[in-house]
Amino acid sequence: MHNLNYHHLFYFKVIATEGSISKAAQKLRLGQPTLSMQLKQFEDNLGHALFERRNRTLVLTEMGRLVLGYANEIFRLGEEMIDAVNDRPTTKKMKLQIGALDSVPKSVIQECMRKAYEFGDCSITVLEGEGSDLMNELVNHRLDLVISNASAPSLTTEKLFAKSLAKLQLVIVGHPKFKNLKELFPKSLNQAPFIYPTSHSRVRHEIEHFFEQLHCEPNVVAETQDTSLMKSLALEGRGLMVITEMAVRSSLEKGELVKIGDLGSHMEELWLISAQRKIQNPVANHLMKDVTLD
């Protein structure tokens, strides 16, 4: 292998960050053929493919993720060096990038952020989205951690680590007009209108198991994977919803929603997931090793 070409390394970093050669070319103001040639030369120099094509998109290989980890650290240190030689103060602020399903209670995300700030001076970015998208960002090292209501996928070649972050009680809540259902709970739920999460949700399985045990059949009036939409429909009185009490605490305290009852032993478990990296983010490492919210 020849000496490292830092221009090539920078081009690779931009391609990996942007997710495609076309977007990277626009950002770098270079032609796509020129950028493709520079990437090919870099891969030839290293003796490894750094990307593979999947469904017309570029995905980092295992070696690509390793190189990106080094590239991010190299250019971060470069920026710090420039600050130092120009007598500009540097805080050496650590960066942490967290992904979270939109169904994760904001209070859980805030608590993780609080624990990170307690550990050290850091800047935190939070990205909310769907599980598959967040996991893709995690394995490509664009996220340090993901907060999910499912453990790390087992059917993957990626080395992922998961720890249980919290087990939260599931409750049934609804518009105050449904408060009479508390009297004969849970028998009162038979044929009551419900807004369900979609079938891919683990909470959906807990709900169905709960009603199977009761020999009770709710009237499902809507299904959505969007927790915000589910809550909006519940606030309008369209139906009852099952959610963690933590996620609707503010609405319960204001009287906008009332708690009808809980699902007993049926809980929502939240997980903190990380991917194997050569260069570990110290803040992410601390959260994985030492933090639980139970």
Domains detected in the chain: 6-85 (1.10.10.10), 94-166+270-290 (3.40.190.10), 167-267 (3.40.190.10)
92, pLDDT greater than 80 = no
Q: What is the DSSP letter of 268?
A: E
Q: Which residue has the higher pLDDT, 241 or 129?
A: 241
282-290 vs 106-119: helix crossing angle, rounded to 10: 120
Q: Nearest CA to 11 among 2, 237, 200, 34?
A: 34
At 225, the pLDDT band (50, 70, 90 cuts) reads confident
> Can you give the pLDDT at residue 107?
83
Average of per-residue pLDDT across 51-76? 84
DSSP string, 3-68: ---HHHHHHHHHHHHHSSHHHHHHHHT--HHHHHHHHHHHHHHHTS--EEEETTEEEE-HHHHHHH
Q: For 144-177, how does the pLDDT look when each residue is reduced to its tens digit (9 = 90+)?
A: 999 988 776 654 556 888 899 888 899 999 999 9
Instruction: Give dist(CA 178, CA 260) in Å, integer.
Output: 8
Which tokens belong to 87? 């007598």
Per the CB < 8 A criterion, the answer to whether 216 and 187 are in contact is yes
Residue 254 in tokens: 């204001």
Q: pLDDT, tens digit, for every residue of 32-44?
A: 899 999 999 999 9
Least confident residue range of 22-31, 86-95, 166-175: 86-95
Write the pLDDT tens digit of every residue in 254-281: 999 999 999 999 998 899 999 887 667 8
pLDDT of residue 12: 92
Q: How confident is the model at residue 233 (pLDDT cuts 50, 70, 90)?
A: very high
